[in-house]
Amino acid sequence: MGAKILAIANQKGGVGKTTTSLTLGSALSRRGKKVLLLDLDPHACATLHAKIYPEDLGASLYDIFLAQEGVWSGIWPGIIHPAVLQGMDLAPGSIRLSELEVDFRERSAKGSVLARSLQVLPARYDFVVLDCPPHVGILLVNALVAADLLIIPIQTDFLALHGLKLL
Question: What digits encode the pLDDT tens for the residues 3-18?
Answer: 999 999 987 777 888 9
The structure's pTM equals 0.90
**131, amino acid identity:** D
Question: What digits encode the pLDDT tens for the residues 137-166?
Answer: 999 999 999 999 999 888 777 776 776 676
Q: How many domains is the chain partitioned into structurally?
A: 1
* Cβ contacts of 99 within 8 Å, gap of 6 or more: 62
Range of the domain at 22: 4-166
Q: CA separation (Å) from 105 to 102, 111, 141?
A: 5, 11, 14
CA distance 44 to 10: 16
